[in-house]
Amino acid sequence: MHRSAPRLSRILACAAVPVMLVAVGCSSDSGSDGKKSAGSSSSGTAGPKPSEPTVEPAKFTDLPDPCASIGKKTIEDLVPDAKKKGGTAGGSTDLSVRSSCSWNGLDDQGVKGSQYRWMDVGFTRFDSDQSLGSGAKRATADYTKQVTKAKESEGAEKVATEPAAGIGDEATLVTYGLSKTDEDFVYATVVARTGNVVVTLTYNGAGYAGAKTPSSGDIVKGAQKAVKEAVAAVEKTADSEDASSAGGDAKGDATDGSEDTKKDRADAKGDAGSEDSPKSKAKS
């Protein structure tokens, strides 16, 4: 009897060992699965996608009337006896994106011959586009393209290029000579960029019937004067848009104020007629 008791204790102790091992094993597996699950959850979660940089909004959303972009006095000085003093507008499918105007005239000086002058101005506006870039960037590319085009004019002789200071954000003057209709023409083209708009102005002249060929200096001076007015006309479109927007906001504020005033008056009238008002109590 005394021997069987210790033996029974040993048997019970040994039987308990596998149960503990199983418990430990389950606990270990559970912890491992938890870590794996946490790790897979962490690595499987997609982070926020980086947002694309927003392009700079275009400065100008419209173009001026090209035939009104250069002052009448300037037209009279640069193109004497212009056939159409108001200019001839060029064709365009969208005048807010592309427009142009030209003037030409022959100033007959009798026995001294005649002076011929031609001037044209063109505007091209570029909108900002998420895939193409900002309007200013696109206009800069076109500005470079137009300068190259002027320098490579067919038949141009003695081509010269130089920066034109004080005109828009950047400007280039291209001068050259050209022989046509048996006369020597003097050309000056100014390509300017202001914001997201490119302005291209060409001014040229020639002397007919023995008249003296105009000097390059006079042609350049006239072209620069005219293009400055054209660029200023573009820049005024932004001012007029801001003024229009401000006027609309002011009108809206005035309307809101008027509505608030009406409401206050109605509330005051309602208070005066209520039983709790001082005037109502005096009557009772």
- 203 versus 259: the higher-pLDDT residue is 203
Place 53 in a pLDDT band, splitting at 50, 70 and 90.
confident
Percent of the chain with pLDDT over 90: 62
Tell me the domains of the chain and their CATH numbers.
66-239 (3.40.1000)
- Asked if residue 150 has pLDDT above 70, the reply is yes
The pTM for the full model equals 0.70
Q: List pLDDT tens digits, range 181-232.
A: 889 999 999 999 999 999 999 999 999 999 999 999 999 999 999 999 999 9
C-alpha to C-alpha distance for 283 and 253, rounded to whole angstroms: 41
**Helix (H) and strand (E) counts for the chain?**
5, 7
- Asked if residue 117 has pLDDT above 80, the reply is yes
Tokens at residue 63, please? 């173009």
Do residues 85 and 67 lie in contact, with contact meaning Cβ atoms separated by under 8 Å? no
Give the pLDDT confidence score for residue 233 in this predicted structure.
Answer: 98
Do residues 104 and 111 lie in contact, with contact meaning Cβ atoms separated by under 8 Å? no
Helix (H, G, I), strand (E, B) or coil at 47: coil
Worst-scoring range by mean pLDDT, 4-18, 52-66, 209-223, 233-247?
Answer: 4-18
Nearest one of 159, 160, 155, 161 to 179, comparing CA atoms: 155
Long-range contacts of 90-94 (CB under 8 A, 24+ apart): 90/66, 90/120, 90/122
Q: List pLDDT tens digits, range 57-93.
A: 999 999 999 999 999 999 999 999 999 999 999 999 9
Question: Cα 38 to chain center, whole Å?
Answer: 49
Distances, alpha carbon 172 to alpha carbons 60, 157, 232, in Å:
21, 18, 17
- 158 versus 46: the higher-pLDDT residue is 158
Q: Bridge partners of 124?
A: 98, 198
Nearest one of 143, 166, 147, 163 to 232, comparing CA atoms: 166
- 27 versus 230: the higher-pLDDT residue is 230
DSSP string covering 149-209, please?
HHHT-TT-EEEEEEE-TTSSSEEEEEEEEEEETTEEEEEEEEEEEETTEEEEEEEEEEEET
- Asked if residue 36 has pLDDT above 80, the reply is no
Mean pLDDT of 224-248: 83
- Asked if residue 113 has pLDDT above 90, the reply is yes
Do residues 63 and 95 lie in contact, with contact meaning Cβ atoms separated by under 8 Å? yes
Tokens at residue 231, please? 């660029």
Give the pLDDT confidence score for residue 39 in this predicted structure.
Answer: 46
Q: Bridge partners of 157?
A: 177
Place 238 in a pLDDT band, splitting at 50, 70 and 90.
confident
Mean pLDDT of all residues belonging to the chain: 81
Give the pLDDT confidence score for residue 45 in this predicted structure.
Answer: 60
Mean pLDDT of 2-8: 52
